[in-house]
Amino acid sequence: MLVDTLKQQGDVVAMTGDGVNDAPSIKAAHIGITMGSGTQVAKNAGRMVLTDDNFATIVRAVAEGRKLYDNLTKYVRFVMISLVAFVLTFLGAALLDIAAGEPFTPVQVLWIHFFVSAAFGVALGLDDATPGLMERRPRPSSESIITTGVKLTSGLVGLYMAIVLDAVIQLGADHYDSVEVGRSIGLSAFALMLVVAAYECRSTLDSILKSATFDNARMNWIALVEIALAVMSTQTDLFNRLLNTTPLTGGQFGLAVAAAALLFLLWEGGKLAARRSTH
């Protein structure tokens, strides 16, 4: 049977039919598609029924499925980075006795999770379809959503963030004689680095130095709000009291900006190297 031959070659096979004679092939294929006007035997063998008998519906369904899965991988990549950064930051602080093992207070942790990470997670989950998505070869059905690339990106970016966060917190204690100043710099740096990570996570290889990067209006508005909140979280009395932060000088906030800028440069460099290695 042709379906079995294609499956043995590693292809993802879809079979469309409407008659009794099509039923075996429909059932053997990875995706069996039956016409709405087809026989009941064919419908029972298939996984999908085209109620409008329009083959173009198959293409639209595949496109929507690929978009949903691709957006899920963007979300997973971003969330993994945030979680790895948190875990390594606290682990490093405990091992190196930074801020008595508490680099961020509980309310600051909740702030990052619910008011920064969650917002970008929603934006990535509802992102527009990535250009060229339908030209990609189907992924293996056995492939985990947490691929080697996701693990590598999460590990390296999370490690960078953790090193930066522990470093600025220790800098606050040593140079400014205040752990609160260090935590405030770290909180702003964390928020700004997550802004960079959200845009970078939209693609594993493509640079964000192009106009298409900003075609998601929802993401752009969230980024603007998060940048404003990164400033307000340390520079307003209300947030000082809510988040246990302290006002920063221009130089101190500049450290947070520099951390995000360096992350951007390193990530873009990594993507450039990855693009060259694939060609």
* Banded model confidence at residue 97, pLDDT cuts 50, 70, 90: very high
Question: 67 with 102: CB under 8 angstroms?
Answer: no
Q: pLDDT, tens digit, for every residue of 104-131?
A: 999 999 999 999 999 999 999 888 888 8
Neighbours of 189 (CB within 10 A): 25
CATH architecture of 71-278: Up-down Bundle (1.20)
Least confident of 5-9, 21-25, 256-260: 5-9
Structural domain spans, the chain: 2-54, 71-278
Neighbours of 244 (CB within 10 A): 16
Helix, strand, or coil (residue 50): strand
pLDDT at 144 (0 to 100): 82
Where is pLDDT greater, at 205 or 7?
Answer: 205
pLDDT at 279 (0 to 100): 65
What does pLDDT average to over the chain? Answer: 90
Most confident range, picked from 18-32, 136-150, 189-203: 189-203
Angle at 54 (CA atoms; ends 51, 57), nearest 5 degrees? 85
* Banded model confidence at residue 1, pLDDT cuts 50, 70, 90: low
Average pLDDT rounded to a whole number, residues 188-211: 93
d(CA 262, CA 180): 23
Q: pLDDT, tens digit, for every residue of 14-43?
A: 888 888 888 888 888 888 888 888 888 888
Out of 3.40.50.1000, 3.40.50.150, 1.10.3720.10, 1.20.840.10, select the CATH number for domain 2-54: 3.40.50.1000
Average pLDDT rounded to a whole number, residues 236-258: 95
Question: In 3D, which of 206, 193, 200, 207 has the Cα closest to residue 262?
Answer: 193
DSSP structure string for 172-224: HHHHSS-HHHHHHHHHHHHHHHHHHHHHHTT-SSS-S-SGGGG--HHHHHHHH
Average pLDDT rounded to a whole number, residues 170-187: 94
| 188: pLDDT strictly greater than 90 | yes
d(CA 127, CA 125): 6
pLDDT at 124 (0 to 100): 93
C-alpha pair distances (Å), 186 with each of 8, 130, 205, 209? 53, 33, 28, 26
C-alpha pair distances (Å), 49 with each of 22, 59, 60, 68? 14, 14, 14, 20
Neighbours of 194 (CB within 10 A): 25
Q: pLDDT, tens digit, for every residue of 147-177?
A: 888 899 999 999 999 999 999 999 999 999 9
| 224: pLDDT strictly greater than 80 | yes
Question: 33 with 45: CB under 8 angstroms?
Answer: no
